Structure formats: structure tokens, C-alpha cells
């Protein structure tokens, strides 16, 4: 049985991308509201956020993405993998959710629209008191940071952790989650303008890459979370402690065919000759990990770094900033919001 509080409109406003390209392909359109299917929830989107994933899906790069995203035109018209909002309707076969519940999830798109139909198995109810804007900033970057540290990095309380690319979405989450997981020492690498931000988030030490080369400092690390891929394999090998783990979250995008795949393959091959281990992954939307993030949000141990809040008319600029690689935290998209700073 399907239940709703109010009749869902037949149409909605959304940001669409009907072909691959730069942010110029984006349009704000009136489109049909998504139909509710068995096993899904219909969510009224209260907040989403811009992620590198959304830029990749919009631009169709690296090109191998088109093998499953659509060879000539994108199958996904409405991007926005992060979703936080309220349940408007519950599909057949779904239990554990009620109309009006506040939820968040990492979806297959839809966050840049007023409504989204999402798989119930990938949705988590939010604890009372958690801000929907904060929740909308969390799923993709939060899951990536958590799984890099805990699932693949196996972080322990004795670990010295290096986060290369600490000012971006994943990096700002990684600092806080590493602290929540009890890492002994957290070193954040970022630009000059973000040094104080990284300290405030909980980094034990902050390296301003404009003035210091972390790869030449002589320090050793038990776990490296690398968002940048901007050092040679030899340089990374030189700073990995015995038994260390290198987790490659991303890497250089110069290769438009395969993106960071070649770089990560070289890292994996180089570490075979050491007792350090390589870990590359794509974040998975698990309810267990979403529940962990929800608890951190509720207890204040995780506070998303939100640069600004924008409406649908700010999505293009947000994705352009993602592409530039010079973000400071998250840009949250709220339907009908005005473009404004946060914090």
C-alpha cells in the first residue's frame, strides 16, 4: 500500500542535463515528477549538494563512464547524488518508513529536483534534531571518507594519518571522522586559505602545500588518504611506515579516457614491492554506514563544512567550482534557496 500526506504534483522543477558537456548543458526545467515504484520511497528533496561524482556524470568524463551512463546521451537527466528530505510516499513492499520521516541517502541522481524516487534499502532515517541542510551535504563525501578510513584503511587508535586534499568535501569529512574513530595523529594537507579550517576540524598538524612539501618532510604515516594523486609513487612509498595502508580516493584526471585509473594502477604495482598495501574503491551506499554518519551528525562529532547554500540557479557555478579543484567544503543546493554563504 502507498500512503501520502498530500497529493504529489504531476510536475516539478529540476536542473536537467540532457547531453554531456560543461555546466552550460544544465537547464532549469519543469519536468514530470517521478513515479513511485515498488521497493522505493518518494522523497521531497529539502537539500542536496554538489559532488565530483555529479560533475563526472554531467561531463561524461572519464569516457569509460559512458559505458553504463549512456554512450551518446546520458541516461540520468537529473543529477544530484546526495538527498536529504522528507518521505512523501512509501512504495509497495517497503517497511520501516512513515510519511513525514526525515531521511537521507546516496542515490542514483535526482537530488537536483524537487522530488526523487529512491531505493528504500539505501535510505536512512535521520535522528531528531539533525539539520536537513547538514544531512544533504553528507552522504557521498561522508560515505567516501568513512569507508576510506574504516573499511579500506582499517584505521586504529595508534595510527598516524595523512589526508592529502583536506579542504574538499571528502577531506573535511575525513579529518572529523578520523578524529571520531580515535586516530592518534591527523595531518591535513591543504592550501594556505584552508589551514585554519583544517585545524578547527581537528587536524593535529596542518601542512600548507604552498610552503611545505609533505613528501619531503621525512615523516612516516600508517595510513594515507589521497584525494589528489599529485605525488610520484616513489614519494608516497618513502613516507609509508611499515605495514601502512595507502587509500586512493581519486587521482589526476588528465587522462580523459580512464581518469585516475592509470595512476592508481601504478601505485598498486609500486606498493607490491613494499610491505604497505594499496586500496582503491568506489564508495557504496550502505545503511550501516549511513547510520554511523547519522549518529555522528546527531552527537555533533561531525559538522559538515558548508561554504554556501544555493538554489537551482547556483548548481552550474557549484559544479564549475568542483571542476576547478579549489573548493572549501561543501556547496549545498536547496530548492528555491537564495545563493548565500553559510556559517
Q: What is the pLDDT of residue 258?
A: 62
Extended beta strands in the chain, E state:
11-17, 26-32, 40-49, 82-90, 102-106, 115-119, 123-125, 160-164, 185-190, 205-208, 221-226, 240-248, 277-280, 306-310, 330-333, 340-341
Structure pTM?
Answer: 0.92
In this prediction, residue 325 carries a pLDDT of: 77
* pLDDT, position 267: 84
Those residues whose C-beta lies under 8 Å from the C-beta of residue 265, and which sit 6 or more positions away, are none
pLDDT at residue 343, as a whole number: 43
pLDDT in tens, the chain (343 residues): 444 445 789 999 999 999 999 999 999 999 999 999 999 999 999 999 999 999 999 999 888 788 888 999 999 999 999 999 999 999 999 999 999 999 999 999 999 999 999 999 989 999 999 999 999 999 999 999 999 999 999 999 999 999 999 999 999 999 999 999 999 999 999 999 999 999 999 999 999 999 999 999 889 999 999 999 888 999 999 999 999 999 999 765 555 666 677 788 888 898 887 889 999 888 999 999 999 999 999 999 999 999 999 999 999 999 999 888 777 899 999 997 654 445 4
Contact status, residue 26 vs residue 16, Cβ threshold 8 Å: yes
Amino acid at each position: 500500500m502507498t500512503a501520502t500526506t498530500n497529493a504529489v504534483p504531476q510536475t516539478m522543477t529540476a536542473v536537467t542535463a540532457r547531453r554531456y558537456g560543461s555546466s552550460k548543458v544544465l537547464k532549469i526545467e519543469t519536468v514530470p515528477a517521478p513515479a513511485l515504484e515498488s521497493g522505493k520511497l518518494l522523497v521531497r528533496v529539502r537539500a542536496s549538494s554538489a559532488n565530483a561524482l555529479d560533475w563526472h556524470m554531467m561531463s561524461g568524463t572519464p569516457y569509460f563512464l559512458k559505458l553504463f551512463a549512456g554512450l551518446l546521451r546520458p541516461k540520468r537527466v537529473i543529477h544530484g547524488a546526495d538527498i536529504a528530505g522528507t518521505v512523501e510516499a512509501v512504495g509497495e513492499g517497503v517497511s520501516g518508513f512513515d510519511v513525514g520521516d526525515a531521511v537521507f541517502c546516496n542515490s542514483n541522481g535526482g537530488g537536483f529536483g524537487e522530488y526523487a524516487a529512491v531505493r528504500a534499502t539505501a535510505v536512512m532515517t535521520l535522528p531528531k534534531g539533525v539539520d536537513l541542510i547538514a544531512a544533504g551535504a553528507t552522504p557521498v563525501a561522508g560515505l567516501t571518507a568513512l569507508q576510506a578510513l574504516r573499511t579500506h584503511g582499517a584505521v586504529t587508535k595508534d595510527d598516524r594519518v595523512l589526508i592529502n586534499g583536506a579542504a574538499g568535501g571528502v577531506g573535511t569529512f575525513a579529518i572529523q571522522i578520523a578524529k571520531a574513530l580515535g586516530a592518534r595523529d591527523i595531518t591535513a594537507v591543504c592550501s594556505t586559505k584552508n589551514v585554519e579550517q583544517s585545524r578547527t576540524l581537528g587536524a593535529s598538524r596542518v601542512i600548507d602545500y604552498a610552503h611545505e612539501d609533505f613528501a619531503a618532510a621525512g615523516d612516516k604515516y600508517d595510513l594515507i588518504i589521497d584525494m589528489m594523486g599529485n605525488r610520484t609513487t616513489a614519494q608516497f612509498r618513502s613516507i609509508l611506515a611499515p605495514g601502512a595502508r595507502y587509500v586512493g580516493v581519486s587521482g589526476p584526471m588528465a587522462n580523459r579516457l580512464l581518469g585516475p585509473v592509470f595512476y592508481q594502477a601504478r601505485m598498486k604495482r609500486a606498493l607490491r614491492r613494499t610491505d604497505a598495501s594499496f586500496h582503491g574503491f568506489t564508495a557504496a551506499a550502505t545503511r550501516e554506514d549511513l547510520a554511523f554518519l547519522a549518529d555522528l551528525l546527531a552527537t555533533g562529532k561531525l559538522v559538515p563544512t558548508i561554504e554556501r547554500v544555493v538554489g537551482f540557479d547556483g548548481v552550474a557555478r557549484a559544479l564549475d567550482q568542483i571542476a576547478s579543484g579549489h573548493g572549501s567544503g561543501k556547496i549545498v543546493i536547496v530548492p528555491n534557496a537564495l545563493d548565500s554563504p553559510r556559517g
